[in-house]
Amino acid sequence: MSKREVRLMQGNEACAEAALYAGVKFFAGYPITPATEIMEILSRKLPQVGGVFLQMEDEISSMAAVIGASIGGLKSLTATSGPGFTLKQENIGYAAMVEIPCVIVDVQRGGPSTGLPTLPAQMDVMQARWGTHGDHPIVVLCPSTVYEYYTLTVQAVNFAEMLRTPVIVLSDAIVGHLREKVVLPELGELKIVNRKMTTVAPKDFLPYKADEDGVPPFVNYGTGYRYHITSNNHDEGGFPATNNHQIADSLLRRLHDKVEKRRSEIVITEEIMTEDADVIIFAYGCTARSAYSAVEEARKKGMKVGLIKALTLWPFPFEVLLKYSKQAKHVIVPEMNLGQLAGEVERTLKDCPVKVTRLNRIDGRMITPEQIVSTISEVI
């Protein structure tokens, strides 16, 4: 009988522990600040649970190895930061196209390029969505506390396995290096999802023939099934179909549909003190921490302010915003970038009588609760 363990934990440590909880058995990575702790911890812990840790020669190969291991049947994860995330993008697109479950943790730091290696930012929101070329589905989860970093890492592995698609955990240097008290979930407390395996005989098996949910069942390599993988457009048999317009169209639509079909499961948001709110702060990641304090402060002053915290950034959680489109007069979007998600908020609310206000900071320091309170006072 396991018990809930109480720990003082660093965010990146929670991520590594959560990966093990979720059943991750393979990690390949490359050193990069502020994400290196995840790989350092897993280099010790994975071998202890029969898993495999590989330090690779660069970020590109780390992503490729993660895909390879996942094809081989292991739940696989890698962790990096902005510049490394950029180098991984080609293979992230590959994983989306050939439908290989994998999780990429991006501990954001200031960019572009080498940028601010030790300072936080939220500048990879659009890179997480559109960093790799082509229309591809992606799921991006964003923690604002150490505990959320834990639970969302478990969720990320679950979603990847469930959807057969890459899932990104988008944390940042604040949440990654933050130490907080965490009550760890017991074994069995959080749901663990394993990939769906085929039930048909080898002769009837088509590796990319999807079920009703849009997700094709898996087989492991070397089990007697014919399983051909190509990153070209491919038919249900997994062979290139680069001149077949109908297959090209249906494949890409299915890749998107399988995510959209599970939207209600995947899109995670929290509404805090929003019941009567005239002003809503829409925040995510480390900025949601300041936003929470700001809401408490504003409430003390008698202002009707609430917080929507987005834990899923992509698919973009427009539903929760539309829910308040008649009630709220103002939405404030504080972000440590120049407005990457604010654009989505504005797009969602463009036909509603709600004014969207951006609050941006890009100097490597957190947006403070005071800044948000002062923006609230300005818009009211």
Partner 1 sequence: MATPLNLKELSKKEELFTPGHRLCAGCGAPIVAKMVVMAAEHPLVMTNATGCLEVSTCISENTAWKMPWIHSAFENAGATIGGIEAMYRSLKKQGKIKEDIKFIAWGGDGGTYDIGLQALSGVMERGQDVLYVCYDNGAYMNTGIQRSSATPLGADTTTCPAGSVVQGKPQGRKDLAKIIAAHQGTYVAQASPSNWQDLMKKVRKALDHKGPSFMNIIAPCNRGWRTQLNDAILMSRLAVDTCYWPLFEIQDNITTITYKPKEKKPLVDFLKPQGRFKHLFAPGNEAILKQAQDDVDAYWERLLKEEACFAK
Q: Which residues contact partner 1 by CB under 8 A?
A: 30-33, 36, 39-40, 43-44, 47, 53, 55, 57-59, 83, 87, 113-114, 117
Query: By C-beta, is 33 or 293 nearer to partner 1?
Result: 33
CB of 120 to partner 1, least distance (A): 17
**Alpha carbons 376 and 280: distance in angstroms, whole number:** 9
Question: What's the residue count for the chain?
Answer: 380
Query: By C-beta, is 104 or 372 nearer to partner 1?
Result: 104
Query: By C-beta, is 19 or 251 nearer to partner 1?
Result: 19
CB of 369 to partner 1, least distance (A): 29
C-alpha closest to that of 84 among 31, 42, 12? 31
Query: By C-beta, is 56 or 362 nearer to partner 1?
Result: 56
CB of 366 to partner 1, least distance (A): 21
Query: By C-beta, is 78 or 312 nearer to partner 1?
Result: 78
Q: Are 190 and 20 in contact (CB under 8 A)?
A: no
CB of 54 to partner 1, least distance (A): 10
Please list, residue by residue across 193-231, b when 16 or more beta carbons sit within 10 angstroms of its beta carbon and e when fewer do: bebeebeeeeeebbbbebeeebbbbbbeeeeebebebee
Residue 49 CB contacts under 8 Å (≥ 6 apart), including other chains = 20, 25
| E strand segments, the chain | 5-10, 26-29, 52-55, 76-80, 102-108, 139-141, 166-172, 179-184, 269-272, 279-283, 305-310, 312-314, 330-335, 355-360
Amino acid occupying residue 304: K
Q: Are 360 and 339 in contact (CB under 8 A)?
A: yes
CB of 94 to partner 1, least distance (A): 19
CB of 40 to partner 1, least distance (A): 5
Number of helices followed by number of strands (H, E) in the chain: 13, 14
Query: By C-beta, is 29 or 334 nearer to partner 1?
Result: 29
